[in-house]
Amino acid sequence: QITLKESGPTLVKPTQTLTLTCTFSGFSLSTSGVGVAWIRQPPGKALEWLALIYRNDDKLYRPSLKSRLTITTDTSKSQVVLTMTNMDPVDTATYFCARRPTAGSHPDYWGQGTLVTVSS
């Protein structure tokens, strides 16, 4: 059974760094083509892909946010961590992690999401 679950703070202050963890089970990032991505959704708005990690250490970032994002993995714990620096109120959103099952494909399994509010 494939599951993913996000964890992290629900409230961060402007200019702070956000660290989110995705803990997954039922698959391995060591499998060729498999990846874990982060996607966010501001309240009432559309989905926005942020970052992807695959082959344990290959990474892709949304170009407009690349300077603020870092995605890493801890394979021993089956976790993927996303850090986003210099948080702003516009970054308030539900943050999801999701699995990419094969190279060049779509996300199939998603976590439940975690709402992060940026406010002083």
Partner 1 sequence: EIVMTQSPATLSVSPGERATLSCRASQSVSSNLAWYQQKPGQAPRLLIYGASTRATGIPARFSGSGSGTEFTLTISRLQSEDFAVYYCQQYTEWWTFGQGTKVEIK
Question: Could you write out the three-class secondary structure of the chain?
Answer: CCEEEEECCCEECCCCCEEEEEEEECCCCCCCCCEEEEEEECCCCCCEEEEEEECCCEEEECHHHHHHEEEEEEHHHCEEEEEECCCCHHHCEEEEEEEECCCCCCCCCECCCEEEEECC
Token pair recorded at residue 73: 């993995």
CB-CB contact of 87 with 68 (8 Å): no
Main-chain dihedrals φ then ψ at residue 103, nearest 5 degrees:
-60, 135
Q: Is 90 in the site for partner 1 (CB under 8 A)?
A: no
Residue among 16, 19, 49, 92 that touches partner 1 (CB under 8 A): 49
Residue among 1, 76, 90, 104 that touches partner 1 (CB under 8 A): 104
Give min distance, CB of 14 to partner 1, in A. Answer: 26
Residue among 3, 72, 112, 119 that touches partner 1 (CB under 8 A): 112
Q: Is 106 in the site for partner 1 (CB under 8 A)?
A: yes
Binding-residue pattern over the window 9 to 48 for partner 1, x denoting contact by CB under 8 A:
----------------------------x-x-----xxxx
Q: Is 7 in the site for partner 1 (CB under 8 A)?
A: no
**Residue numbers of the site for partner 1 (CB under 8 A)?**
37, 39, 45-49, 52, 60, 62-63, 96, 98, 104-108, 110-113
